[in-house]
Amino acid sequence: MPDPTTPILTADGTPLKAKLAQTTRQLKWKAFLLTLPLVLFVVITFVLPIGQMLYRSVHNPAGSNVVPQFAEFIQEWDGQGLPDDKYVESFVKDLAVARKNREIGKTVGNLATRVNYEMPGSRSLITSTARKAAKITEGPYLDALIKINKKWENPAIWLTLQRVSKDYTLAFYLAATDMKYDETGKIVQADDLYQIYIPILLKTLWLSAVITVLCFILAYPVSYLLSTLPLRTSNLLMILVLLPFWTSLLVRTTAWIAMLQTEGIINDALVFLGAIDDDGRIQMIYNQTGTIISMVHILLPFMILPLFSVMKTIPPSYMRAAKSMGASTFYSFRRVYFPQTIPGIAAGTLLVFILAIGYYITPALVGGNDGLLISNLIADHIKKTLNWSLGAALGTILLVVVMVFYWIYNKLVGVDNLKFG
Amino acid sequence: MSNTTGAAVRFEKVQKSYDGEVMVVKDLNLDIAPGEFLTMLGPSGSGKSTCLMMLAGFEPATNGEIYLNDKAINSVPPNKRGIGMVFQNYALFPHMSVAENLAFPLKVRGISSKDIDEKVKHTLDLVELGAFGNRRPAQLSGGQQQRVAVARALVFEPELILMDEPLGALDKQLREQMQYEIKHIHERLGVTVVYVTHDQTEALTMSDRVAVFEDGIIQQLSPPDELYESPQNSFVAQFIGENNKLSGKVTTLDGNVCDVLLDDGTHVKSEAVNVSAVGDRTTISLRPERVEVDPQSPMDNNLKGKISEILYLGDHLRIVMEVAGNKEFIAKIRNRGETRPFAKDQVVTVSWAASDCKALDPVS
Ligand SMILES: Nc1ncnc2c1ncn2[C@@H]1O[C@H](COP(=O)(O)OP(=O)(O)OP(=O)(O)O)[C@@H](O)[C@H]1O
Ligand SMILES: [Mg+2]
């Protein structure tokens, strides 16, 4: 046994470990250079925008952009009762300046929107006050404001303004998890009516799980068949499995609309066969059922491919060996075949589940109201309501959820056990 | 492990076709005695594995009946046949340890875990892998995996073990060692073994009897020595061992002796094995080691040969020459330590006894 404390030396006297590190370092550099273009591409087009988006979920400088002096000044206020007139004065002056501002992101409207997020119904309070702000030339400013609108008497609006004036805020995460600041600035559950995002998130997880399980149940026998057929036939069937990839997602989804709608092919056929009445047509689309059916169809190949590639490597002699030793077909399957397909099952379910969680086009088209997923809400905030910060917060939560699932999965199955193909 | 008595197997008029067009096994009749080591030998695609699969129950016989201990088993599913099987790729379950692999057939049979442990240990010791029970198959060498596969087929004490080219993946040295070990285990346990190989040496060294397959037909079923010494037809003569071919026509036929006129006009006295009448075309088969070159005294057959190549192989010399029109006539001369008396292009006398050459069916 060589003494472990004395390092082994190479012929020219350098320690073996150092020499080895030197040679492997070159290899690592080479590997790094090979991936560099892709890394740059991903960083520039993907990581940076996402990073910026995530940043947006906590960074919202509406206050300091629109009413900069007030935003800084109001932080000194202790938040008791109504603010002293000096604070109000700076607010009124800033507002008057902001009124003339035409720069994007710095108009009064931005502040109004932002305040409105936290105190619904106060948008017009800000905008109408801003219009008259220039006319207020002397104090007491608070009274002047109250004369314009009684709502300025409410301390809550001032607390909100104080919060909004901070550049960094958790408000969007609170909104994304159905919570809010109450009148006194404490974090509380939002009213029942506004409990939207958590239920949708839970529903997304639940639907994704249902879709994953359905995909698995449908894909396992098919993959088995594909893996046992002779190559020519299995290649042909494999093309059928892959066929959906050659048509656009939109086309496939709309095809489902044609199939499932109340005046669609399936209902027509059922009516024709007399299975249902003409006025008893089944609602299969624009609801959860529609989302589930079409997403199972669209995600099925992602389950079949890893399963198939794993099953392909399991020679039939395993099952034969098990049977020759006296095991029944079912026992052989359960103890010998099934365990060997676990890497494929793991990869397939992970793939389908994670794809389903983030899916958005299909539910948007066929999901109606109750078949919507969390990503549809994110898209709405990014594209329609333009509340990018809330969209970003929801996106971040979704990302975290996915990562948590991935982590749990890794604990359970071990990611190095996965076989994608 | 208790000494099991082997099972008797009988194939009766068994035929098999996969596609309804080609008969892969044609009219197989085969009786295997209890405790026998029978090898199916033959070129690739000759139907050996198919026979084994029918016996194991993984392929139905298209026609005919297979009997195990005089019970027809055509309708018995594989898991009820109680036949141990060693597969070519071993088919060791990769997700189980060696011990779990061995325990599998015992668990299926509902044996108590104490007995299982005992039997597993005992069988692992038998194949000298006692210390490897906890390893996964992937952590074993090829030879060790092979032994585990044998152990797994043995552990539930079947009366019949089938082995389909179990040594195909091993290198020569390991192969020979394993041949010896399998043979040894067979002798010790007394089980019936049906063994498939396309390696003739393996077949000759291990078997009680060898069934030579070609094209779905058993060409000859004999003990190894008989197979080598008295091949029944040209296929067997060529398939087993080395063989010189001389073609000609039968001129006289007297019991099991005949005279053959070779195509170049020389006469050869030969044992008549597979010729039926004077005038038949025949191919004479002659083992290279039975040929004498420049013998002291003349023998039954004495022909002229022109040496074209001499190969030195240590224990023997291989002389390639042209004899009676056959340019690849080979003689094996034992190396007795004399100086090499032969040279290229030298003309020598080649002689052999009439009983050493067999007149068989003609091959072109
Ligand atoms: N499952 C199958 N379907 C169709 N034809 C088959 C099948 N299995 C074997 N065959 C054909 O049957 C013939 C005999 O095959 P078999 O496997 O019995 O040969 P073998 O003697 O074991 O050959 P090898 O030494 O190469 O293993 C071959 O021509 C083969 O192509
Ligand atoms: Mg074979």
For residue B115, tell me if it sits in a domain. Answer: yes
Whether the per-residue pLDDT at A389 is higher than 60: the answer is yes
High-pLDDT (> 70) share of chain B, %: 98
Task: Provide the mean pLDDT of chain A.
Answer: 88
pLDDT digits (tens, 9 = 90+) for B340-349: 678 889 999 9
For residue B3, tell me if it sits in a domain. Answer: no
pLDDT given at position A352: 94
B138 to chain A, minimum CA–CA distance in Å? 14
One domain for residues B261 and B228: no
| Backbone torsion region of residue A32, taken as left when φ is above 0, otherwise alpha when ψ lies between -120 and 50, otherwise beta | alpha
Is ligand 1 within 6 A of the CB of residue B50? yes
CATH code of the domain covering residue B325: 2.40.50.140
- Phi and psi at B237, nearest 5°, equal -60, -40
CA B144 distance to own-chain centroid: 24
Q: Which of B202, B234, B266 marks a domain boundary? A: B234
CA-CA distance, A329 to A314, in Å (whole number)? 16
User: Domain A197-417 in CATH: superfamily?
Assistant: MetI-like (1.10.3720.10)
**Residue A191 has what DSSP assignment?**
P
One domain for residues B256 and B302: yes
Taking CA atoms, what residue in A is nearest to B85?
A: A324
Decide if B18 touches A, using CB distance below 8 A.
no
One domain for residues B204 and B248: no
For residue B14, tell me if it sits in a domain. Answer: yes
pLDDT given at position B340: 62
b/e map of B310-348 (b: 16 or more CB within 10 Å)?
beeeeebbebbbebbebeebbbbbeeeeeeeeeeeeeeb
For residue B113, tell me if it sits in a domain. Answer: yes
pLDDT digits (tens, 9 = 90+) for A197-229: 999 999 999 999 999 999 999 999 999 999 999
Which segments of B109-199 does DSSP mark as H helices, in order? 113-126, 142-154, 172-189
One domain for residues B174 and B25: yes
Is ligand 1 within 6 A of the CB of residue B198? yes
Whether the per-residue pLDDT at B337 is higher than 80: the answer is no
pLDDT band at B2 (very low <50, low <70, confident <90, very high): very low
What total number of domains does chain B contain? 2
Kindly list the domain boundaries of chain A, sorted by start residue: 1-44, 62-165, 197-417
Please, what is the Cα angle at B18 between B16 and B19, to 5 degrees?
A: 125
The bridge status of strand B63-68 relative to strand B160-164 is unpaired
pLDDT digits (tens, 9 = 90+) for B96-131: 999 999 999 999 999 999 999 999 999 998 888 889
Contact criterion met (CB < 8 Å) for A317 and B93:
no
Query: Given the CA of residue B88, which atom of ligand 1 is nearest to it?
Result: 27
Burial class from Cβ neighbours inside 10 Å (0-12, 13-18, 19+) for residue A270 reads: middle
Is ligand 1 within 6 A of the CB of residue B20? no
Q: Which of B204, B234, B264 marks a domain boundary? A: B234
The mean per-residue pLDDT over the stretch B52-62 comes to 93
Taking CA atoms, what residue in B is nearest to A339?
A: B95
Identity (one letter) of the amino acid at A59?
H
The mean per-residue pLDDT over the stretch A293-304 comes to 93
pLDDT band at B1 (very low <50, low <70, confident <90, very high): very low
More confident residue, A4 or B295: B295
- Taking contacts as CB-CB distances below 8 angstroms, the residues of chain A near B80 are 326
DSSP string over A13-73: SSBHHHHHHHHHHHHHHHHHHHHHHHHHHHIIIIIHHHHHHHHHHHB--HHHHHSHHHHHH
Taking CA atoms, what residue in A is nearest to B161?
A: A324
The mean per-residue pLDDT over the stretch A253-271 comes to 89
CB B309 within 8 A of CB B344: yes
- Taking contacts as CB-CB distances below 8 angstroms, the residues of chain B near A326 are 79-80, 82, 105, 108-109, 156
pLDDT given at position B148: 93
One domain for residues B214 and B269: no
One domain for residues B105 and B189: yes
One domain for residues B184 and B307: no
C-alpha separations of A255 from A242, A362, B87 in Å: 17, 11, 49
For residue B111, tell me if it sits in a domain. Answer: yes
Does the complex come out with an ipTM higher than 0.90? no
pLDDT given at position A101: 81
Six-digit token pair at B321? Answer: 């020459």
For residue B73, tell me if it sits in a domain. Answer: yes
Spatial CA neighbour of B158 closest among B50, B87, B75, B68: B68
One domain for residues B249 and B161: no
Q: Domain containing B320: what range?
A: 242-360
- Phi and psi at B123, nearest 5°, equal -70, -35
Six-digit token pair at B190? Answer: 């007394």
pLDDT digits (tens, 9 = 90+) for B314-324: 888 899 999 99
One domain for residues B137 and B201: yes
The SS3 call for residue B349 is: strand
One domain for residues B170 and B100: yes
pLDDT band at A2 (very low <50, low <70, confident <90, very high): low
pLDDT given at position A3: 57
CATH code of the domain covering residue B75: 3.40.50.300
For residue B4, tell me if it sits in a domain. Answer: no
Q: Which of B234, B253, B271 marks a domain boundary? A: B234
One domain for residues B158 and B193: yes
pLDDT given at position B228: 92
Sign of the four-CA dihedral A103, A109, A114, A115? positive
> Could you tell me the distance, in angstroms and rounded to a whole number, from the CA of residue B4 to the centre of ligand 2?
28
Spatial CA neighbour of A125 closest among A134, A116, A136, A137: A116
For residue B162, tell me if it sits in a domain. Answer: yes
Contact criterion met (CB < 8 Å) for A317 and B89:
yes
One domain for residues B75 and B190: yes
Six-digit token pair at A155? Answer: 């301390």
Nearest CB to A323 within list B79, B94, B156 = B79
